[in-house]
Chains A and B, each alone.
Chain A
Amino acid sequence: MDAILLQILNGLDKGSAYALIALGLTLIFGTLGVVNFAHGALFMIGAFCAVTMQRILTISQTTIDESRTDFLGNPMKVETPYVENWFGPELGGAIIDWAVPLAILFAIPVMICIGFIMERGLIKHFYKRPHADQILVTFGLAIVLQEVIKYFYGANPIPTPAPAAFTGSFDFGVLLGFDPNAIIYPLWRLVYFVFSLIIIAAVFGFLQFTTFGMVVRAGMADRETVGLLGINIDKRFTIMFGIAAAVAGLAGVMYTPINSPNYHMGMDFLVLSFVVVVVGGMGSLPGAVLAGFLLGILESFASMNEIKSLVPGIDQIIIYLIAIVILLTRPRGLMGRKGVMEE
């Protein structure tokens, strides 16, 4: 029982990332009809917003410490972050420690801008082209973006730790009456799960309870009729592209303490997120979220030693197996709507 609970918990944080990426993908597909293979790159750029924030906060003043020497025997250069000089070591240190949560404030405008530029600069030229063309151009864009990031940040993972208050783990086992250490869960993963629920609720709330959201939903259902009513639906869809980019970016920012960011991390999530979208049902926002969590948890279960010993390699193919089964039994996915991507 404890092993099952443990794997459900483990699946939640990865499921959260899948759900957030798939939510953005579905928003773009549902509004603009574009299959955006650069969406994983937006997740990765979000993660590097956290790295950038960390670097900004640690821009340092260099002083020479004559009492120590560096590896070449020269007087040691000591770097002290300006933030610590300005606010004192305690407050300055705390600001640097909270670089990842603070990066959210930095990432939102950056990601919305990147989303706007991507949509207006490139993707809008491919609205009327076949999906295959859209996939090719967005996939190419993803490769360009990751090479740009690699050029500036290098190829190796960059440590981006969570605030000290959220390091360590929480013993759920004790809370549920199990032995100590039976079910432990890192605090930051718990934060990530709660954060993703807040973002998902905010996106749904925005679409459900605002006039803007109502128009967007109407446009998703019948673009032409909304246009005939004199509403500039294209402009709203462009804004939705920016919002989808911000959602992917925020998912990336908060994921950095879980996996040290590297330029390739977007690709690692992209393919699985597409499977999530297809399993959830193309164009269905609740379907994307549901499938994200479902596949995250199933993937976690498949990594259990007991299951791997029965079916070796199952952890690598479980998502695709489930996708096949669901698509065979429900060809439109779990919550797919009739007419979406159907000629």
Chain B
Amino acid sequence: MFPWVYGFKWSAGHLIFLSVFFSVLGTVSGSVVTAAFRSAKDLRQRTADAMRWEMEFEELPRKARSCRHEITGEVRHRTCDHEFDCRTCSVHPTFLAQAAATSRPEDPAAGTFGLAMPTDRLYHRGHAWVKPEGDGTCTIGLDDFGARLVGTPDAVELPLPGTHLNANGTGWHFVRGGERLRILSPVDGEVLKQGSMDQGWLLRVRADDSEPATRHLLRGGEVRPWIMHELERLEFSLGSSGVGATLADGGEMVSDLRAAYPGVAWESFCSPFFLEG
């Protein structure tokens, strides 16, 4: 039974002790081998981006993980546990039904705090916008909040046409001052065409389905409270340690935050807003 153990005897002491020992060793090595085997399988079946997002989402600051329905005031406190993929959330339809029953007309005068957030677009929590074009394709860009955080990048690394994007996977990168910032893709689909910051859009994408799945994207009346929530996080991040919450001065967000705050580590500072762990 244990031929490799020197001096093994068929006694209760030897049997119990060695059985337990080898069971423990078997369990530990089995766990590691299973993890290694499954990780190889994961890499074949899933993208590294999907695993990265699943892990990084848990590591995001709690405020960054607030459910969209908490931000809009529909629920007092709720932290998302679906990695911002409302398509798989069982609670989201309930909130939508409640909102439809008690819907109030939007106040056209209510702005988005000096930020241009057109209502014909849908917004990802990582500050990318999506505009469905009605032909199964959609245009993707960076929203005004994100653009002001990024400022004027040295380079924009866009995926080549033909590349497949996954919602919440890597969309593209901005490079500035040697630092690299990842922006999450808001939808699943194949890149058809590249745009540019000057053109106001960055990618044209053909959705995996006939129409892009956009249930997880913010829209309409959700955008204003979300932007307020993001501005609060921003003010909080820029505040001094230990001061706590202070009254905002009411000003608008500057057009190039990095230039306004040269002492701030740009990549570390921006990454929580772009949902990078």
Whether both chains belong to one complex is answered with no
A-binding residues in B (CB < 8 A)? none
